Structure 1
């Protein structure tokens, strides 16, 4: 199944791929450009919706929302550079490749263009290139994922973690939060790959990285379960595999007895439409969602303040939500926006 996307986002990328420029803002408008990591992802449309809603509320702002259709760090960097060259009034980026994106952010800074990051921040040494980071506290997000495992698996076991792009700072922080929590250590101690700490071990071949490829993510779930028939826990820091619901069901339905008894505990990041029926069916135990709409909305609002010479907080936290099979089809996801 192809993930949810918006027509506007798809058309923007199609124009860029054809060598055309993105739509120009109205002459009286301030143009704020948001550059996401990948549009072919259920996380993307709510960001664009929040961006456009905030621009409409302000009245004199145009939201230009762009990103590569498939995950492509070089293309994302080029899109950001194009917006800087065009002279947009403000720039928001979700940094797929933090070091490469930092170079573009420095270009923007040199031109006097305010820059913020959302969803995925740059490295700490480059934090001075942006005015704020808007999104989830990703280390705390990892802690929350791991805590749900510990509720059922207090004595440890084997755990496989699934992540997206290895270079993404937000995802690395989530993985670290999971490892530290399962290992029973504090952030300053920093557990590396789990090899028995606090009873937890990561089997060979884990973690698995899908580079935001949904088909690959679903296949990885199948492969991990096949290669580790006694796996105690599977934790995905994002929803990739569940965005291909049929492939995910084929991998997990044969394990339903283990899932029902919580002999195998499965926790996923995100709580988008394709994921919720899977959660309701008991094919995962918890889905912890973020608030991408708020990320897009707050990015525009922060850029508005910055272009007016006002200050913003260095970290604007957008929050999370824990969903269970019991509320998957009722209240889950209804309060996020």
Structure 2
């Protein structure tokens, strides 16, 4: 009888624990809801939340807007969510609101883009400086002779993008490449503007050796991007204008498959969304998590793009 009673108590405890987990609500805040890159983080978050028995709430600014991102995080604090993961658009702007959340005993981590001077408890995402380096390495592999280049970023206050720029410059400038006037351009995650900026660089610098953005924004405007490549296709086919681009979303993989890119250096946003839920649940339970949680990179060429498209 005593053993049966103990078993029943254990079952009740397990049920109570499961019910508590099911009630946890964790927020995932992207830089912009209009950026398809973050759709993969959303999917990873939703899938992992279902596995863990928690709720993933995905909400961010309609478009890249740091002030709106801060307001959304304040709203989540007021709602009393059980944890927040945020991709930081402006590292300085979130320091205060992250402290507000921590003061309210809400676990906070960053994903994709960090704010390491804040009191966030952990980061999960890419080693962005290494991503910049890899973009540079792949460009040199495709174009061994040093030349001129231009690059493009999203927003000037995003620490992850600034780290990528630093890695790219380390490799390219170290190998004798020269950056043209007006670079980097900032598109504020606007795909149409990003594609236009690439075209503008090519027009202003007809002998440029490469235009290598550190984010895949232009490829999310496929018609405009392909028009840009078509205008420079003779140089591409002659090996004088390599197309090394970031990220491996389906539209980008299709771009490479169709000959409008030669190399993609991709992040793993789906995995970031999954790990964000795992980490927030652990923190909510009072467990410790590593401060830095780096996910890997994928290099895709025509030789393996079919595997990624599957």
TM-score by length of 1: 0.83
Give the one of 40, 64, 79 matched to 1:71: 64
C-alpha distance in structure 2 between counterparts of 1:72 and 1:149, whole Å: 31
Q: 1:112 aligns with which of 105, 109, 124?
A: 105
CA contact (8 A) 2:22 2:55 kept: no
Q: Counterpart in 1 of 2:38? A: 44
Spell out, residue by residue over 1:104-126, the C-alpha distance to the aligned partner (whole angstroms, 9 max, x if none).
Answer: 1000111111110000000x432
Distance in 2 between the 1:326 and 1:258 partners? 22
Residue in structure 2 matched with residue 55 of structure 1 by the alignment: 49
Determine the structure 1 residue equivalent to 2:190. Answer: 213
Q: Which whole-Å CA distance do the structure 2 matches of 1:243 and 1:28 have between them?
A: 36
Give 1:282 deviation, angstroms: 2.4
| Cα deviation, residue 207, structure 1 | 1.1
Equivalent residue of 2:25, what SS?
A: strand
Please say if 1:297 is aligned against 2:289. no
The TM-score, its normalising length taken from structure 2, stands at 0.90
Distance 2:73 2:188 in 1: 20
Q: State the shift of 1:31 in Å.
A: 0.8
Q: Given the alignment of the two structures, is residue 331 of structure 1 paired with residue 300 of structure 2, yes or no? A: no
Match of residue 81, structure 1, among 74, 82, 92? 74
Q: Point out 4+ residue stretches in structure 1 off by more than 3 angstroms.
A: none
CA distance in 1, matches of 2:69, 2:121: 20
Q: Give, in whole Å, the separation in 2 of the partners of 1:105 and 1:38.
A: 18
Asked whether the 8 Å contact 1:271–1:290 carries over to 2, the reply is: yes
- Displacement of 1:252 in angstroms is 0.9
In the alignment, does 2:165 pair up with 1:165? no
Question: Post-superposition shift, 1:320?
Answer: 1.1
Please state how far the C-alpha of 1:287 moved relative to its aligned partner.
0.9
The answer on 1:30 being equivalent to 2:29 is: no
1:283-327 per-residue CA deviation (whole Å, 9 max, x = no partner) reads: 222111111111111001000111111111111111111111333
Q: Which has the higher helix share?
A: 2
Hey, what does 2:6 align to over in structure 1? Answer: none
* d(CA) in 2 for partners of 1:31, 1:210: 33
Corresponding residue number in structure 2 for 1:23: none
Aligned twin of 2:121: 131
Deviation at 1:28, TM superposition (A): 5.5
Unaligned runs of 5+ in 1: 1-25, 185-197
Unaligned stretches of 5+ residues in structure 2: 1-19
Please list, as runs of the form range in 1=range in 2, the aligned pairs for 1:1-337 lying within 5 A after superposition: 29-59=23-53, 61-122=54-115, 124-126=116-118, 129-184=119-174, 198-328=175-305, 330-332=306-308
- State the superposition RMSD in angstroms: 1.5
> What is the number of residues matched between the two proteins?
291
The question of whether the paired residues in 2 share the 8 Å contact of 1:163 and 1:210 is answered with yes
Q: Offset at 1:261?
A: 2.4
CA distance in 2, matches of 1:216, 1:46: 23
